[in-house]
Structure formats: structure tokens, C-alpha cells
Amino acid sequence: MTDWDPHRYRRFETERTQPAVDLLSRVRRKTAKLVVDLGCGPGNSTELLAARFPEAEIIGIDTSPAMIETAQARLPHCRFAVADLAAWRPETPPDVIFANAVLQWLPDHAALLPRLMAHLPAAGTLAIQMPDNLGAPSHSLMRSVASQGPWADRLAPAAADRTILPPLDDYYDLLIRHAETVDVWRTTYHHPLASAAAIVDWVRSTGLRPFLNRLDPAEQEEFLKRYQASLEEAYPARADGLRLLGFERVFMVATRVG
Ligand SMILES: C[S@@+](CC[C@H](N)C(=O)[O-])C[C@H]1O[C@@H](n2cnc3c(N)ncnc32)[C@H](O)[C@@H]1O
């Protein structure tokens, strides 16, 4: 599996960071000593945490060496480490665990989320945002191009890399057993993008990775051609010629008993 590409990911950094801004705005605590950014990527979410909690030690972890290198260069005063959050255990309980746009890549949230809550001290905060867009054309069309080409057998496992998220009510039930307060909400962003090619560019560094990683370069080119053609129809030009990429995301902030 090829590594994540921080440069490609950062092409839409402003749009990708807005949900992290919105998530952090609902974290009520004013101070923290230790904050951990799980799946910190190129440090965009970490940068927000460092600005919000200037007194705190900030640690970012990510499985991607390229992402960690970019984040460390961007924020030399923060500590970064290549690590898989599936096996992550903090040395010291962090006041805030922040996970923006990463947990959708991990299975078994029924076990994972209570485990993350258990790492918090009294009054500690777990803040999570995840895309909930597997039903959107941007993602259903990936699966449909995958299932209809000569690569269908090889790409069948790619569609299983992420599973449809349970309803927010279920997340509330899961978290409230370990928290004093739980705040859950859902937002659909609508990103005006220049073209269908720009939509391809957006998902290429995220949702398309499991598909492209299983194809050789010539197949990748053919896959992208078919996928982009299907996006042209699914995302028609708006009054100004731009395409509106609808992007649904779920949010949750849980605070442990103080
Ligand atoms: C979509 S990016 C999110 C980056 C950033 N947090 C943001 O707000 O834009 C997802 C990141 O999660 C990382 N990631 C995926 N699975 C992971 C895991 N099991 N443990 C740690 N990081 C992981 C990827 O390498 C990638 O950098």
C-alpha cells in the first residue's frame, strides 16, 4: 500500500480543515496540559489545537511517515510520532483526544471508542469527526466503476476498507456510558469545485486510495477516466459553472465525569 500524499491532501486544506475548526469550537474546556491529535495528517488539525491550547504539550500521531514529516516541519514545537492509533496507549492521560477525519478508517468503533474514553482523565474530552459520505455519488460511483471493470475481483476488498457508520443515536449510547456529557451532530458541507476533475483530485488522496493502490498505472488511468466521466453527470455544473461537492460529516464530543 503506498503512503498518503501530504501535498495532494493539502490541495484542499482549507475545506478539509473547516470541520476540525467546527469540532474544536464545540470543545468547551479552556485549558489543557496535554492534547493528542490522532491521525494528525500534515498537521492542519494539530495547528488548530496548538493555537487553541498554547500552554499545552501537543502530540500528533499518524501511521503515515510522509504525513508525520510534513507535520513536524510545519510545527517544530509539537511532538509527532508514526504510530497506529489502533494499538496506541498514551504514556500520560491526555486532557483532550482529538480525532478529525481518521476513525472512519478503523473498524469496531463499539470497542475503539470506549477504549479511547478510558485513556482520558476525569473531565477529559474526546472529540471526533468522521466523513459519513459512503452513500454520496462521489463514493458510490467509485464502487460502481470498481465492480464493472476488468479489475472487479481485485477491487472487491477495496470497497470494504470503510464500512457505513451506525446512526448517531448509537454513538450517543456508546459514549454516554463513559461520559458525563455527549454532544453529537451532523453537518453537510457543500464545496464549490472547479470541475469533475477537481472532485477526482479531492478524493484521490483519501477515499480513492484503497482502489488505486490495487491497480497498476495504466489501470489507474483507465479507472480515473471512467470515474471522472460518471462524476460529470452526477455533479452537473451550477449557475456559475462550478460543481457542488456535498460532503456529510458526523461529529461527537464526549466529556468524562469531572
Ligand atoms: C483524512 S486525514 C486527516 C488529517 C487531519 N487530521 C485533518 O484534520 O485533516 C487521515 C489521516 O489519518 C491517518 N491514519 C489512517 N489510519 C490511521 C491509523 N490507524 N492510525 C493513525 N493514523 C491513521 C492517515 O495517514 C491520514 O494522515
Average pLDDT of the residues in 114-130: 98
> Which residues have any ligand 1 atom within 6 Å of their CB?
4, 16, 20, 39-41, 44-45, 61-64, 67, 84-86, 100-102, 105-106, 206
Q: Is there a contact between 253 and 100 (Cβ–Cβ < 8 Å)? A: no
Amino acid at 111: A
Q: Where are the domains of the chain?
A: 6-255
How many angstroms does the Cα of residue 62 sit away from the middle of ligand 1? 6
Distances (CA, A) of 130 to 152, 231, 241: 27, 23, 29
Q: Is there a contact between 134 and 164 (Cβ–Cβ < 8 Å)? A: yes
**pLDDT of residue 135 exceeding 80:** yes
**CATH number for the domain running over 6-255:** 3.40.50.150
Q: What is the pLDDT of residues 136-193, one digit of tens each?
A: 999 999 999 999 999 999 999 998 878 899 999 999 999 999 999 999 999 999 999 9
Residue 175 is given by DSSP the state H
* DSSP secondary structure string for all residues of 151-198: THHHHGGGGGGS-PPPPHHHHHHHHHTT-SEEEEEEEEEEEEES-HHH
Q: Is there a contact between 251 and 184 (Cβ–Cβ < 8 Å)? A: yes
Produce one character per residue of 3-24: b if its CB has 16 or more CB atoms within 10 Å, e if not. ebbbeebbebeeebbebbebbb
**pLDDT of residue 34 exceeding 80:** yes
Look at residue 154 in the predicted model and tell me its pLDDT.
95
How many angstroms does the Cα of residue 102 sit away from the middle of ligand 1? 5
DSSP bridge pairs for 248: 188
Distance CA 119, CA 112 (A): 11
How many angstroms does the Cα of residue 63 sit away from the middle of ligand 1? 7
User: In the structure grid, which three cell numbers stand for residue 235, read together?
Assistant: 455533479
For ligand 1, atom 12: residue with the closest CA: 39
**pLDDT of residue 95 exceeding 90:** yes
Q: Name the average pLDDT for the chain.
A: 96
Look at residue 24 in the predicted model and tell me its pLDDT.
98
How many angstroms does the Cα of residue 239 sit away from the middle of ligand 1? 35
Compute how many other C-beta atoms are within 10 angstroms of the C-beta atom of residue 146. Answer: 22
Average pLDDT of the residues in 19-48: 97
User: In the structure grid, which three cell numbers stand for residue 73, read together?
Assistant: 516541519
Q: Which residue has the higher pLDDT, 39 or 9?
A: 39
Q: What is the pLDDT of residues 39-48, one digit of tens each?
A: 999 999 999 9
Distance CA 188, CA 199 (A): 16
Point out the ligand 1 atom lying closest to the alpha carbon of residue 99.
Answer: 6
Look at residue 2 in the predicted model and tell me its pLDDT.
77
Please give the biggest Cα pair distance in the chain. 56
Look-up of cell digits 492542519: 44
Q: What is the pLDDT of residues 203-223, one digit of tens each?
A: 998 899 999 999 999 999 999
Average pLDDT of the residues in 113-119: 97
Residue 1: pLDDT band (50, 70, 90) is: low
Residue 2 is given by DSSP the state P
Residue 3 is given by DSSP the state P
